């Protein structure tokens, strides 16, 4: 028996983040998960009011309690963000940056896991034409391991780079050849830095997951034929790790562009996929689209110490003001299931996933996305379940 009552940091964020999180917490209670929740401030509100979408007090809460359940946040480009800042803060030279990326960096949540698994009966499942024009609905069970802190998200970038950086770049013959004639003021540079340590951690996490859950293959999804240093290092390390420690798991290598094409051709062939930050972001959205889209896409951001679980959908500001929320809570509920697995409550997550499977298969209660409606306040009048009704149904089926 687990005697210690847990405290979970609830991070609603913006827009529909709050409703999906609150409904998920309600369901967790019914499923028998006993915990206390403390709310952490995060998101657009706090950017506008305080000039910081990720206040220190929120960092402290996570530092203390270690586990976060995160709803969604609104992110806007630099200039739009500045416009909305409290006028009293406008002189301070503040620059908006995404608080979820900030959380991943601050706590070194370097391992991002994004499962994409078909629920039988989901009307949003991918279908294709097979031989003889037959319609096929392949069962997909893919888990993406995304390196979550480095690469193009490392934040090391400049427009009009400082002299030292410019000189460094100019020491590379390819820079001289391809960009040497461009005035410095006309250059923008974003770096893609990979470290051996983080690359090894994400690769090992992927291989271990494949072995533990019986996936046949780990696919490195990068572009080593062009991006020779970073992608090249990742693939080479994957070969070494596979040979030394995971001989029972096949290692496959695909390029991100080809993978995006193949994933609608033969998605059932893939098992575990591992990629750097940006390509992991891309390929995880690609596979999520085959299993129901944003209403079903869940994720875990795991560090050594702190972990944060979140649906990968955004805050859907257009839907946030509806009198009754219409969004599909399943992605958030699934993210909470990943949290339960992580903290050693697999019995409860199994029960919840069983309920999701039943509700989807039965097909009586469906949110607007599952009914292929476009999102508007009147979908409920047309027979779509609200966020609350879907949660109620999941609770009844536990």
How far apart, in Å, are the Cα atoms of 371 and each of 68, 102, 380, 384? Answer: 31, 35, 11, 7
| Binding span for ligand IPM by CB under 6 A among 97-105, 136-144, 240-248, 348-356 | 97-105
Query: In the bound complex, what is the minimum distance in angstroms from residue 311's beta carbon to Mn ion?
Result: 11
Contact pick of 98, 108, 195, 397 for ligand IPM (by CB under 6 A): 98
State yes or no: residue 7 binds ligand IPM (CB under 6 A).
no
Of the listed pieces 78-86, 95-103, 171-179, 384-392, which binds ligand IPM according to CB under 6 A? Answer: 95-103
The residue nearest Mn ion at its CB is 281
Cα-based torsion angle of the residue sequence 145, 311, 372, 383 in order, rounded to the nearest 10 degrees: 150
Alpha carbon distance 71, 11 (integer Å): 6
CA 330, distance to chain mean position in Å, is 14
- Which is nearer to ligand IPM, 53 or 138 (by Cβ)? 53
By C-beta, is 101 or 357 nearer to ligand IPM?
101
Q: Between 99 and 138, how does the x/- string for binding to ligand IPM read (CB under 6 A)?
A: -xx-------------------------------------
75 binds ligand IPM (CB under 6 A): yes
* The residue to which tokens 């270690």 are assigned: 66
For position 281 contacting ligand IPM by CB under 6 A, the verdict is: yes
334 near ligand IPM, judged by CB under 6 A: no
Asked if 356 and 367 count as a contact pair (C-beta separation under 8 A), the reply is no
Strand pairing report for 135-136 and 128-129: antiparallel
| Beta sheet of 217-222, edge-to-edge order | 35-39, 6-13, 67-72, 307-311, 298-302, 111-117, 141-147, 272-275, 217-222, 250-255
Contact flag: residue 310 with Mn ion (CB under 5 A): no
Q: Which two tokens stand for residue 214?
A: 């019986």
Question: Which residues between 263 and 282 bind Mn ion (CB under 5 A)?
Answer: 281
Closer Cβ to ligand IPM, 79 or 163, answer by number: 79
In angstroms, the first-to-last Cα distance of the chain is 21
Restricting to residues 136-195, name those near ligand IPM by CB under 6 A: none
Q: Smallest distance, Å, CB 139 to ligand IPM?
A: 24
* Site of interaction with ligand IPM (CB under 6 A): 75, 98, 100-101, 281, 312
């Amino acid at each position: 028996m687990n005697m210690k009552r847990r405290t979970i940091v609830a991070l609603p964020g913006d827009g529909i983040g709050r409703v999906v999180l609150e409904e998920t917490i309600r369901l967790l209670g019914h499923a028998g998960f006993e915990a206390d929740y403390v709310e952490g401030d995060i998101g657009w509100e706090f950017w506008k009011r305080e000039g910081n979408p990720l206040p220190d007090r929120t960092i402290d809460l996570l530092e203390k309690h270690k586990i976060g359940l995160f709803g969604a946040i609104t992110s806007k480009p630099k200039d739009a963000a500045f416009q909305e800042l409290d006028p009293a803060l406008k002189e301070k030279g503040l620059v908006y940056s995404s608080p979820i990326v900030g959380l991943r960096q601050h706590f070194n949540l370097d391992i991002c896991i994004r499962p994409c698994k078909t629920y039988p009966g989901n009307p949003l499942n991918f279908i294709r034409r097979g031989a003889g024009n037959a319609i096929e609905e392949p069962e997909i069970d893919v888990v993406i391991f995304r390196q979550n802190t480095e690469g193009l998200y490392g934040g090391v970038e400049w427009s009009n780079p400082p002299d030292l950086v410019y000189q460094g770049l100019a020491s590379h013959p390819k820079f001289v050849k391809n960009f040497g004639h461009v005035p410095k003021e006309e250059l923008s540079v974003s770096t893609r830095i990979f470290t051996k340590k983080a690359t090894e951690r994400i690769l090992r996490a992927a291989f271990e997951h494949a072995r533990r859950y019986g996936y046949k293959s780990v696919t490195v999804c990068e572009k080593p034929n062009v991006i020779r240093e970073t992608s090249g290092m990742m693939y080479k390390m994957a070969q070494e790790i596979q040979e030394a420690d995971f001989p029972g798991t096949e290692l496959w290598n695909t390029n991100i562009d080809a993978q995006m094409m193949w994933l609608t051709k033969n998605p059932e062939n893939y098992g575990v996929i591992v990629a750097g930050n940006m390509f992991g972001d891309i390929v995880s959205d690609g596979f999520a689209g085959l299993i129901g889209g944003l209403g079903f896409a869940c994720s875990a951001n795991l560090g050594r110490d702190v972990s944060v679980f979140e649906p990968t959908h955004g805050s859907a500001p257009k839907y946030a003001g509806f009198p009754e929320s219409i969004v599909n809570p399943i992605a958030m509920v699934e993210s909470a299931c990943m949290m339960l697995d992580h903290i050693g409550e697999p019995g409860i997550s199994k029960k919840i996933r069983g309920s999701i499977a039943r509700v989807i298969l039965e097909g009586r209660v469906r949110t607007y996305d599952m009914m292929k409606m476009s999102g508007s306040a009147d979908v409920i009048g047309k027979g779509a379940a609200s966020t609350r009704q879907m949660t109620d149904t999941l609770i009844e089926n536990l």
